[in-house]
């Protein structure tokens, strides 16, 4: 599969997984009801859409080692998305970090499983 098609598949899957996890954590785990669904949807889509292209297209231009790329890239994405959640959703930084970590680990592990099958 071409790299660009893998990216598009990853982007769609990431948005679906991370936005779903975001809704579950905010509504069920943290029981936050004062954030409307449209804002949660926007935050989920925006955070993934604004970080994944950098991870797939920009960072590989500077980091040759796949292992270092994954570690540095995922940590960077996790932190940037936490800041995004913090400002967009107006939640505490600890909650934003927990949400970002959970969303990213869910999409990362799902991606590993799916791409192992392709």
CA distance 48 to 44: 6
The reported pLDDT for the residue numbered 45 is 98
The reported pLDDT for the residue numbered 61 is 96
CA distance 16 to 62: 28
Mean pLDDT by 10 residues, the chain (118 residues): 92 97 98 97 97 96 96 97 98 98 96 86
The reported pLDDT for the residue numbered 115 is 82
The reported pLDDT for the residue numbered 1 is 81
Give me 4's structure tokens: 């660009």
Q: Report the predicted TM-score, pTM, of the whole model to 2 decimal places.
A: 0.93
Q: What angle do CA 53, 20, 17 make, to 5 degrees?
A: 40
**How large is the C-alpha radius of gyration of the chain?**
14
The reported pLDDT for the residue numbered 29 is 96
CA distance 91 to 93: 7
């Amino acid at each position: 599969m071409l790299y660009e098609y893998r990216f598009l598949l990853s982007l769609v899957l990431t948005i679906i997984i991370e936005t779903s996890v975001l809704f579950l954590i905010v509504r069920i785990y943290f029981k936050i009801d004062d954030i409307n669904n449209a804002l949660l949807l926007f935050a989920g889509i925006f955070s993934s859409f604004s970080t994944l292209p950098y991870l797939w297209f920009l960072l590989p231009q500077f980091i040759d080692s796949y292992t270092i790329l994954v570690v540095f890239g995922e940590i960077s994405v996790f932190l940037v998305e936490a800041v995004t959640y913090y400002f967009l959703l107006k939640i505490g930084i600890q909650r934003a970090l927990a949400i970002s970590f959970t969303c990213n680990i869910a999409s990362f592990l799902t991606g590993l499983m799916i791409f192992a099958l392709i």
